[in-house]
């Protein structure tokens, strides 16, 4: 298992969060194999793999039942482990080859309207307070403007360094999943918000720490964490009176609003950093549904009139 995880980290360049999830899933799998009397990876059978999958969905005294998406991720990790074991000569066959991960239900991404985005961004800075509150307010506005204006993941935003931005040219260099780098535009609203933060707020926050390259700093002068950024979003959503707003909401809204405005799905794919266009195409379903609703309520011959 350690060898496989090392392969994923070095050869495949998987993100740290993905590796952590795989490590957790594979530890649970190896424990399940040991409970069934398997002492080596080459002793595992297809029945062992299927029993593990069933156990994921059913849960046990120590683990709650997993949703289809989480169980699918675990099965993908197990399938990868067995392929690796076969390739490395640690097993004579691949017992997981024919075990398919459960198909998660296809859920449309949640986006909020442009009016709600405006309310959320307007509530980012919060009520006026001391200099520390003012600095954090400017940081929060810059963070949320960048999330919506560029469609970056929240982990990508907090991973930015100051040198990753070129505000004069209006772009940011993003380090995405798997160590892949892409360049995304930074719109005028986000540029002004980030510039105001860099000039009027970041120096105030940096004084509390040792200094560093991070763009977004916390109150102690260190890099703002994903959890800290999530709390910024949640606080702004509460002040704006919005519910069920997640860290991905602004990213979903960015993609949906681009497509609603006529952007090509391949361009949106590049901006989001999706490896496959099929991942991006789920957003077109949101747009098509909206078009259908508008047509049904607006066109005089969209629906048959009832005759009394």
Catalytic hit among 79, 136, 251, 252: 251
The active-site residue out of 73, 79, 153, 252 is 153
Tokens of 290: 């909206």
Of 243, 258, 288, which closes a domain?
243
Q: What percent of the chain has pLDDT over 70?
A: 84
Q: Which of 28, 202, 257, 274 is catalytic?
A: 274
231 in a structural domain: yes
Quick one: 65 and 143 in the same domain?
no
Half-sphere exposure of 203 (CA within 13 A, CB side): 5
CB-CB contact of 183 with 174 (8 Å): yes
pTM over 0.85: no
Same domain for 199 and 141, yes or no, is: yes
Annotation says 251 is catalytic: yes
Average pLDDT, the chain: 84
Q: Within this chain, do residues 176 and 126 fall inside the same structural domain, yes or no?
A: yes
Does residue 124 sit in the same domain as residue 73?
no
Question: Do residue 132 and residue 223 come from a single domain?
Answer: yes
Is 111 part of a structural domain of the chain?
no
- Whether 122 and 64 share a structural domain: no
* 296, part of any domain: no
- Which helix or strand (DSSP H or E) is residue 196 part of? helix 188-200
d(CA 18, CA 193): 31
Boundary (domain end) residue, out of 223, 243, 263: 243
257 is catalytic: no
For residue 71, the model assigns a pLDDT of 85
How many domains, in total, are found in the chain?
A: 2
Domain membership of residue 223 (yes or no) is yes
Among 148-162, 176-190, 204-218, which is the least confidently predicted range? 176-190
* Same structural domain, 154 and 67: no
Q: Which of 23, 110, 177, 226 is catalytic?
A: 177
Range of the domain at 69: 2-87
- Establish if 99 belongs to a structural domain: no
200 flagged as catalytic:
no
Q: What is the pLDDT of residues 207-250, one digit of tens each?
A: 988 878 999 999 999 999 999 999 999 999 999 999 888 878 88
Based on the fold, state whether residues 136 and 224 are members of the same structural domain.
yes
We report the CATH number of the domain holding residue 145 as 1.10.443.10
Write down the catalytic residue from 192, 226, 239, 248. 248
DSSP class of residue 201 equals T
Residue 7 bears catalytic tag: no
Q: Please compute the mean of the pLDDT values over residues 137-148 and round it to a whole number.
A: 94
Domain end marker among 67, 87, 107: 87
Paired strand residues for 172? 165, 184
Q: Are residues 140 and 200 both part of a single domain?
A: yes
- Here the CATH number for the domain that contains residue 61 is 1.10.150
∠90-95-101 over CA atoms, to 5°?
125
Do 65 and 126 lie in one domain? The reply is no
177 alpha carbon, distance to own chain's centre: 9
Question: Is 180 known to be catalytic?
Answer: no
Letter string b/e over residues 290-302, b meaning 16 or more CB atoms within 10 A of that residue's CB: eeeeeeeeeeeee
Are residues 230 and 148 both part of a single domain? yes
CA–CA dist 177, 14 (Å, integer): 7
Q: Is 305 a catalytic residue?
A: no
Of 106-110, 140-144, 265-269, which one has max mean pLDDT? 140-144
């Amino acid at each position: 298992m350690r060898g496989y995880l090392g392969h994923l980290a070095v050869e495949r360049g998987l993100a740290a969060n993905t590796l952590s999830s795989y490590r957790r899933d594979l530890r649970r799998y190896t424990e399940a194999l040991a409970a069934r009397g398997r002492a080596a990876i080459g002793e595992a059978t297809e029945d062992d793999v299927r029993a593990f999958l069933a156990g994921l969905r059913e849960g046990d005294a120590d683990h709650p039942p997993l949703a289809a998406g989480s169980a699918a991720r675990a099965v993908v990790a197990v399938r990868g482990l067995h392929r690796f074991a076969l390739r490395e000569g640690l097993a004579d066959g691949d017992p997981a080859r024919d075990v398919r991960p459960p198909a998660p239900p296809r859920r449309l991404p949640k986006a909020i309207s442009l009016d709600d985005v405006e309310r959320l961004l307007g509530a980012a800075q919060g009520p006026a307070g001391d200099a520390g509150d003012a600095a954090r307010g400017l940081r929060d506005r810059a963070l949320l403007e960048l999330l919506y204006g560029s469609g970056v993941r929240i982990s990508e935003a907090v991973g930015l360094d100051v040198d990753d931005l070129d505000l004069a040219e209006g772009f940011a260099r993003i380090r995405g999943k798997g160590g892949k780098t892409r360049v995304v535009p930074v719109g005028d609203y986000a540029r002004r918000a980030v510039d105001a933060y860099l000039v009027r707020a970041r120096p105030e926050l940096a004084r509390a720490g040792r200094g560093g390259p991070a763009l977004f700093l916390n109150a102690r002068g260190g890099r703002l964490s994903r959890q800290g950024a999530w709390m910024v979003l949640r606080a702004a959503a509460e002040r704006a009176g919005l519910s069920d707003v997640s860290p991905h909401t602004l990213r979903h809204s960015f993609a949906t609003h681009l497509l609603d405005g006529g952007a090509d799905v391949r361009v949106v794919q590049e901006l989001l950093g999706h490896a496959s266009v099929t991942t991006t195409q789920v957003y077109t379903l949101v747009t098509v549904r909206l078009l259908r609703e508008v047509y049904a309520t607006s066109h005089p011959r969209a629906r048959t009139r009832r005759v009394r």
